[in-house]
Each structure stands twice: as structure tokens, then as C-alpha cells.
Amino acid sequence: MIALGIRYLCGYSAATNLARQRPEWPVHPGRVFMAMAAAHYESGADPVERAALEWIERQEAPAIQADEGYERTTVKAYVPVNDDAGNIVARSRQDRVFPKIRLESDTAYLMWRSEAASEVRDGLERLCPKVTRIGHSSSLVQMWVVAPGEELEPNWLPSTEGSERMRVASSGSLASLEADFNEAGFRRLDALRQELQTAKGKAKATLKRQIEQEFPDGQPSWRRPQIAKWQGYAPGLSEVTEAVTNGPFDSSIIVLAKQEGRNLGLEATLQLTTALRNAAMKAASREGVAPEWVSGHAPDGSPSLRPHLAFFPLAFVGDAYADGHVMGVAMAVPRDLQRGEGTSKDAAIRNLLGPLFFDPETGEEEEIAIWNRYWKWTLDRERREHPPLTLRADTWTRPSRTWASVTPMVLHHYPKRSRPGDVERIVREAFVSALLPEPEEIIIRSVSRFTGAGDARSMPLFDEGGTDLCKYQTHVVVRFRNKLSGPALVGRGRYKGYGLFRPYDEREDYAD
């Protein structure tokens, strides 16, 4: 195990959450990573330290030991405002708050269970003493690598069921911070200015024009550094000791929030998912034929027998005031997608679906437009610190024994009236066919358990695949022996958003 100790020398932490209203505590591992990266660059960018940082970003989110803190009264301060040229504007002040939290214990720890090579520990031991603050400049710290064998008991653990969301480093975080800072641009400007000091005549005029052309704002472009990945955390012993079954899709679903467009209900599921699939196929086919895990078709054109990219609606359901309107759309990636040798899963997704999210010329993230003849939507990846419940991935993926359908499940073939329990039998087989465990209990319902999802008969029939295929659809509640981790999509229309299940809290009867 590798553990890092952080002692807050003033007895408080001064770090603001992204909403800039309250203090951030426990300290986010992503904030600690950024402080370590800053110390690394400011002290000469030792390659051994860099290797240690790259080791951290490849690991799972760390466990945390951090005692309680007590929020101090927030006092507004008024700071001068700069104009576009960086000059202080006279008699102009902007209110700012600097939330602080008084700590019960001045020491916190981050813990990784992974084994690390001696070079990694060496790099961390070099780097940690260089970190002098985490958060605001007044939040002075001392950092060190905990000695092997020292017993530590975390009280915050990564959990898909955790309600506390914290920023964490992930693969590529260090490179992203470098790109945000744009060190090459600053070095280029410094070099041109040094040349300008000794240049004369036409050479001097040429250098001035060159600086104006390359740096019209007077300085290189840069972005505020940030860590993009969020991880759920739960207090106490939140690690699940009982068995959890994983479905065929990765729990890290891609959530796309609606930005503009007319309100649509669940009855527009097939329209929305088809439009998004078309956009994904166009992006994945830019440099050739889309692979099987995206298209759902084998190389010979036949339907794929392996899990492939699925699309489903994110609707406002399960609340007393829920009306079923769709707030966004999600993409579920196969847990074991086919990728080239030596290519990571994240890289395979980025290579194929990157054109869907990023401008190919500028590399900037852009909104996604989907439409049909009756409506047009713009979507953007959900990145808010506290998004609505409907747009949180764990709402649809958290491990649960009981799941209920939000969109009706389409059976693979028609049940026989002469055979009692035939619907339950077909549903059971459909779960196995979808590479999910066989339910212990099945409840067939015409109306969803979730308020706002409505009656199965109110949804348009799923008519893809041929006119002779079964169109029988129903809502279902299922219970498993062990917890299942989602997303859970079952039945004939599962890759287009039909047969979408959500974890169901049995303490509430949403639609009864």
C-alpha cells in the first residue's frame, strides 16, 4: 500500500468547492494531485517525480482518512477588478468569499491499495516535501509518504453508491494540466522578447509584428487547470463485502444532458436513440467502417452476437412530481469491447467517438446536435459537480438487488395464453440472453413502478428488425440473489432504449 500524509499547519483547510460557496472537505484527491503537479513543475520537473505522478493517475481512486471539520463563518472580501488589459479598474470591487473549515484533526491521508515499485515511492518521497499548500495560499501543509507497515483506517471509500462526489486523477490528467497551462507558448513568447531586446532596425520591427500576430492578447492562451473525473465516495466501511454481479456494459456510462430543444417524453425514446446512434456511427466511420462494438454488425453484415454500444433515454421518473420528460440521453459501452492490440479501452473509445465530442480542427469540446423532421436537440456531456438525480450515472448503474423497468421490455417472442407463467419464462430467458443473471423473482406489470414512466401501452411499439418479430411489451420488476451493477438493458429493443431498468428502492412504491 502507498499512503500520503497531509498535515494542515494552520489547523484549517481553505479550499473552495466548484460552486465557490462552501469549503471543500474532505480534500479531493484531484486537488492534491494538482498541488503535487504544481510543485513538480515549479522545482524543475524531475523525471522520477513525473513517473510517480503518472503512477497515481493510473490507479483506482484512493481511500481517504479525514476527520470531521467545522465550517467557519464566511466573510465577504472585496478585491480589485482588472480590465481586459490586466489593469486595475479604479473604484471597482468584486465580492469574493474564502470558505475555511476548522479541522478536528490536522492530518488527513490518501491511501492506494496497489503495490508500487521502489522508483514510485522514491519519486513521491522527493516530491511530497515540496508541496507547501493545498487550495488557497493560506492553506499551508506538510506532505510526506507514510512509512510501510503503519496502520491506517480509511473512513471515506470509493463507492458507486456514495453520495459524496470528489474529483480524482485519471489517465492523462498530467498531460491535460500541461496542455491547460501551455508552457510551450510562454517559452516561445519569452524567447521572442529576448530576441527583441537585442534586435535593431528591420529585424526589430519584424519581431514586433511576429509577437503581435502570434500573441494578439499580449500573452499565450491558457485555461484554468482542472481535473475532469469525478468519483463517488461513501463514509465508513462502504466497500461491498457481498458479491456484486457486473452486467455486459461498463458502469461509466456517457451522460449527455439536453441543452436546447423541445420537451420530449419517453414515447420519443426510439427517435432520440436512433438520432444519437446515427451521430455516433458517423463519427466512428470517419476513417473507415465502424467496428462491431459500435455498429452492432459483424464484418459480414449480420447482427452481432456480442454486446455493442447501447443508447437510452434519461427521463425524470421516480419522484412525486415526475412527468417522464427526457432530460438527456446516455451511451453504454460494452465492458469487454474489442480493441486493437496495445490500445487501452479509453483510447479505443476516444479514437472512435472523439469526433462526436470534439471539433476535429481545434480539439475543443463541442455540443452534439441530433434531430429528425419534427425536433432538434443539442446535447453536451454532463460535467456539473451536482447534476440533477436523473443525469447522474449512479442513478442508473448503482448495485442493487431489485430493478424496475423505466421503458417497457419488448419480448423476443409472443407468450402463449395456454401456458401459465409464459411471460415470466420469456422474461427470465431474456435476462440470460442479455448476459445478466437469472432473476429470482419476476413481477409483470402494465404500469412502471416509477412515477412518470407510465403504462407500457402508452409507448409506441418497437417495430425495428422486421414486421414478423414480436412486439409484445410490458413493464417488469425483478429481484436477484446478489446485487447487480448496471446499466441493465433487456429485451429485443435494449440497444435503442427499450427494456431500460433502474435500481428500485423497495422502501417506496413509486407508482402505487
CATH number at residue 65: 3.30.70
Mean pLDDT across 400-420 = 93
Q: Name the more confident of 237 and 38.
A: 38
Tell which phi-psi region holds residue 499, choosing left (phi > 0), alpha (psi between -120 and 50) or beta: left
Tell me if 207 is assigned to some domain: yes
Site of grid cell 503518472: 54
Q: Is residue 219 part of a domain?
A: no
Least confident of 31-40, 101-110, 288-297, 403-412: 288-297
* Statement to judge: residues 445 and 380 lie in one domain: no
Residues 6 or more apart whose CB falls under 8 angstroms from that of 155 comprise: 64, 65, 66, 67, 235, 236
Pair 7, 152 in one domain: yes
Cα 100 to Cα 15: distance, rounded to the nearest angstrom = 7
Q: Give yes or no for a contact between 128 and 53, defined as CB atoms under 8 angstroms apart.
A: no
CB neighbourhood size of 16 (10 A): 18
pLDDT attached to residue 509: 46
- Reported as a single tens digit per residue, the pLDDT across 179-222 is 776 767 777 878 888 888 888 888 888 888 888 888 887 777 66
Cell of 309: 454500444
Under the banding of pLDDT at 50, 70 and 90, the label for residue 240 is: very low
In a shared domain, residues 439 and 474: yes
Mean pLDDT over all residues of the chain? 86
Asked whether residue 279 carries a pLDDT value surpassing 80, the answer given is yes
- Calculated CA dihedral for residues 270, 272, 274, 276, nearest 10 degrees: -160
From first CA to last CA, the distance across the chain in angstroms is 49
- 389 with 421, same domain: the answer is no
CA atoms within 13 A on the CB side of 469: 13
Task: Identify whether 12 is part of a domain.
Answer: yes
Q: Are residues 37 and 169 in the same domain?
A: yes
Has residue 334 been placed in a domain?
yes
Please count the structural domains in the chain.
4
| Most confident region among 44-53, 72-81, 226-235 by mean pLDDT | 44-53
Rounded Cα distance, 220 and 188, in Å = 9
Q: What is the predicted pLDDT for the residue at 242?
A: 56
Name the pLDDT band for 339 (thresholds 50, 70, 90).
low
Domain check: are 419 and 451 in the same one? yes
In the chain, % of residues over pLDDT 90? 51
pLDDT over 70 at 510, yes or no = no
Res. 8: pLDDT tops 90: yes
Q: What is the DSSP string of 336-386?
A: T----TT--HHHHHHHHHHHHHB-TTT--B--EEEE-SS-EEEEEE---SS
Check residues 83 and 399 and name the one with the higher pLDDT: 399
In a domain, 433, yes or no: yes
Please give the average per-residue pLDDT across 271-281, as a whole number: 95
Cβ contact 292:365 at 8 Å = no
Same domain, 35 and 168: yes
**Are 250 and 151 within one domain?**
no
Query: Quick one: average pLDDT of 153-180?
Result: 85
Return the higher-pLDDT residue of 46 and 114: 46
Are both 386 and 410 inside the same structural domain?
A: no
Which span out of 267-271, 280-284, 480-484 was modeled with the highest average pLDDT? Answer: 267-271
Query: How confident is the model at residue 370, as a pLDDT?
Result: 94
DSSP secondary structure letter of residue 493: T
The answer to whether residue 220 is domain-embedded is no
Enclosing domain of residue 200: 183-214
* pLDDT confidence bin for 241, thresholds 50/70/90: very low
Over residues 128-151, mean pLDDT = 92
pTM exceeds cut of 0.85: no
Domain boundary among 353, 369, 394: 394
For β-strands 488-489 and 473-485, DSSP reports them as unpaired
**pLDDT reading at 342 higher than 60:** no
Q: Is the pLDDT of residue 91 over 60?
A: no
What integer pLDDT is reported at residue 139 of this predicted model? 92
Do residue 140 and residue 198 come from a single domain?
Answer: no
What mean pLDDT comes out for the span 391-396?
92
Residue where a domain stops, chosen among 394, 429, 457 = 394
pLDDT, mean of residues 18-40: 86
